[in-house]
Amino acid sequence: MPYKLILNDLLKVTAKYLSKDDQELIKDAYFFADNAHKGEKRGTGEEYINHPLHAAYLLAVNNFDAQTIAASLLHDVAENHPDKIKELKKQFGEEIFEIIDGVTKLGKIKIKKSWFFPLNFLQGRRQKQLGYERHIESLRKMLLAMTKDLRVIMIKFADRIHNMQTLKGVRPEKRERIARETLEIYAPLAYRLGMGKVKGELEDLAFPYAYPKEYQRVKKLVGHKYEEKEEYLKKVIRVLDEKISKAGIKADIHGRRKHLYSLYKKLKKHDNDISKIYDLVAVRIIVNNLEDCYKVLGIIHQTWRPLIGRIKDYIAVPKPNGYQSLHTTVFAIDGEIIEIQVRTKQMHDMAENGIAAHWHYKDIRQKPTNMTKIARDQLVWLRELEKWQQNIKDSKEFSQVLKLDFFKDRIFVFTPQGDVHDLPLGATPVDFAYAIHSDVGNTCIGAKLNGKMIRLDQPLKNGDIVDILTKKESQPKRDWLKFVKTSRARSRIKSYLVKK
Ligand code: MN
């Protein structure tokens, strides 16, 4: 991708699959955004519009629909220029506005400052470690819970990728937090949605910023190994190519390098002994159909002896996120150990693009908001999402396929500092105050929503930012019991009143 894009670069890509009307919509969105961001600069010093344009380009390359592209061009307008919201809504309509609004809301999901600590801080502190993991997990869930339309998450990924590519322009203190969020929230989410390419890209962009020392160490450890291995790979590929075409099978054979961050994670499990990592580089064989996958596996095993226990049939038994492939590790030329992966084109596309790959299916492209048509059992990764949300109490049956409103009876409310609390529908500022801390609940005297005072019994909405006002000598009121929704608030109020 060129470093500095212009509108025409984007239009050239969209022209290949969108109508003239769609192209017009994209142009309009571009000019609206360009105008709104006029004079605004990115941390890197470049014009602000360069950022949404890059995000839009990434989505266009993946053939996303015109609404998604338009919304991605406009994604920072509402956040940076609230005075333009009305005009934006009027010109682009409810659907695009909803997507932009969703992106803005997701932007508020951040790792709590208090969780930032020197890296070795967690070691030997099991309780802390668990607390941190819970926090991260709840952020991931929240991200999904707040997303009614998956296109919001797709824009968020594109936004993140460009933000990571330009992270140098951000203050050093902020870099680590952003990189850590990328590794712990966005990359795992991409993985669960089956988007291997996005996951790998996000991780490799974030790794050097999140864990600079480890990054340097892994890089040094790898040294020239990739280059050396790739020379060797070429020989292996030549042998395979000959045998497979002799059998009359069409195949695309190439090498792949392990992403540095996933190598780092694997090294941790193997005492940092790089000689134990057999898939530093691997051979990937892509064939036309399922039968050929098994035929090719047979050819491989006739040529080289496989390692016991390392033949994996992820076609018959896919990974939880839907990943399908045959993996085998063999003693190849000169007895060197190498991993080989075999899959069909469609499996490959799914492994790389996951949910985004479904966008290519015709019926979705025509009606991107109505993806419920896709048979549920086709989308293996959805089952993983389902498992993910089973832990949440009160969650209703997983009902609609891509309308991710399975947390619809929960709301997420933010403190002005960006801390977030997960509450039942109908929860009030008093519930929120007790969710923060029982002392905050006990001494609560009022609440502000978007800077305006609200009643303590007013039900809160998803994404609200609420500031709880307290007064030291104040006490809980018996009246509160009439409207609080959480058992936590109820029991704290009761116990306070009893003690009195
Ligand atoms: Mn952005």
Expressed in angstroms and rounded, the spacing between residue 306 Cα and the centre of ligand 1 is: 47
What are the structure tokens assigned to 145, written together?
A: 């819970």
Expressed in angstroms and rounded, the spacing between residue 54 Cα and the centre of ligand 1 is: 10
Expressed in angstroms and rounded, the spacing between residue 354 Cα and the centre of ligand 1 is: 23
Expressed in angstroms and rounded, the spacing between residue 90 Cα and the centre of ligand 1 is: 22
Mean pLDDT of the chain: 83
Question: Residue 98: which residues within 8 A CB-CB, separation 6 or more?
Answer: 148, 149
Q: Give the pLDDT of residue 402.
A: 31
Question: In DSSP terms, which residues pair with 313 in a beta bridge?
Answer: 326
Expressed in angstroms and rounded, the spacing between residue 161 Cα and the centre of ligand 1 is: 10
Q: Does 370 score more than 60 pLDDT?
A: no
**CA-to-CA separations, 227 to 148, 223, 280, in angstroms, rounded:** 45, 9, 11
**305 sits in which H/E element:** strand 305-306
Expressed in angstroms and rounded, the spacing between residue 436 Cα and the centre of ligand 1 is: 29
The region of weakest confidence among 125-134, 289-298, 453-462 is 125-134
Expressed in angstroms and rounded, the spacing between residue 163 Cα and the centre of ligand 1 is: 7
β-pairing, 281-287 with 337-344?
parallel
Expressed in angstroms and rounded, the spacing between residue 361 Cα and the centre of ligand 1 is: 28
What number is the average pLDDT over the span 198-213?
94
The region of weakest confidence among 140-149, 164-173, 237-246, 429-438 is 140-149
Expressed in angstroms and rounded, the spacing between residue 367 Cα and the centre of ligand 1 is: 26
CA distance 20 to 173: 45
The amino acid at 224: H
Q: Does 139 score more than 80 pLDDT?
A: no
Expressed in angstroms and rounded, the spacing between residue 63 Cα and the centre of ligand 1 is: 20
Q: Are the beta carbons of 52 and 138 closer than 8 angstroms?
A: no
Expressed in angstroms and rounded, the spacing between residue 51 Cα and the centre of ligand 1 is: 7
Question: Residue 268: which residues within 8 A CB-CB, separation 6 or more?
Answer: none
What number is the average pLDDT over the span 455-462?
90
β-pairing, 305-306 with 251-257?
unpaired
Q: Give the pLDDT of residue 200.
A: 93
What number is the average pLDDT over the span 470-484?
94
Q: Does 251 score more than 80 pLDDT?
A: yes
Listed ranges 176-185, 461-470, 477-486; the one with the highest mean pLDDT: 477-486
Q: Give the pLDDT of residue 410.
A: 67
Q: Give the pLDDT of residue 399.
A: 27
Expressed in angstroms and rounded, the spacing between residue 286 Cα and the centre of ligand 1 is: 36
β-pairing, 326-331 with 337-344?
antiparallel
Expressed in angstroms and rounded, the spacing between residue 52 Cα and the centre of ligand 1 is: 6
Produce one character per residue of 20-46: b if its CB has 16 or more CB atoms within 10 Å, e if not.
Answer: eebbebbbebbebbbebbeeeebeeee
The region of weakest confidence among 187-196, 210-219, 263-272 is 187-196
Q: Does 401 score more than 50 pLDDT?
A: no
Q: Give the pLDDT of residue 3.
A: 63
Expressed in angstroms and rounded, the spacing between residue 104 Cα and the centre of ligand 1 is: 9
Q: Give the pLDDT of residue 480.
A: 96
Expressed in angstroms and rounded, the spacing between residue 159 Cα and the centre of ligand 1 is: 5
DSSP secondary structure of 181-250: HIIIIIHHHHHHTT-HHHHHHHHHHHHHHHSHHHHHHHHHHHTTHHHHHHHHHHHHHHHHHHHHHHTT--
CA distance 284 to 178: 33
Expressed in angstroms and rounded, the spacing between residue 468 Cα and the centre of ligand 1 is: 29
Neighbours of ion ligand 1 (CB under 5 A): 76, 159
Expressed in angstroms and rounded, the spacing between residue 318 Cα and the centre of ligand 1 is: 35
Expressed in angstroms and rounded, the spacing between residue 137 Cα and the centre of ligand 1 is: 23
Give the closest residue to 175 by CA, choosing from 43, 300, 78, 268. Answer: 43
What are the structure tokens assigned to 103, written together?
A: 């992106």
Expressed in angstroms and rounded, the spacing between residue 50 Cα and the centre of ligand 1 is: 10
CA distance 258 to 339: 11
CA distance 182 to 166: 14
Q: Are the beta carbons of 186 and 160 closer than 8 angstroms?
A: yes
**DSSP three-state, residue 444:** strand
Displacement of CA 140 from its chain's centroid (Å): 8
Q: Give the pLDDT of residue 322.
A: 74
**CA-to-CA separations, 82 to 28, 47, 85, 101, in angstroms, rounded:** 19, 19, 5, 11
Specify the pTM.
0.70
Between residues 429 and 370, the one the model is more confident about? 429
Expressed in angstroms and rounded, the spacing between residue 68 Cα and the centre of ligand 1 is: 14
**DSSP three-state, residue 339:** strand
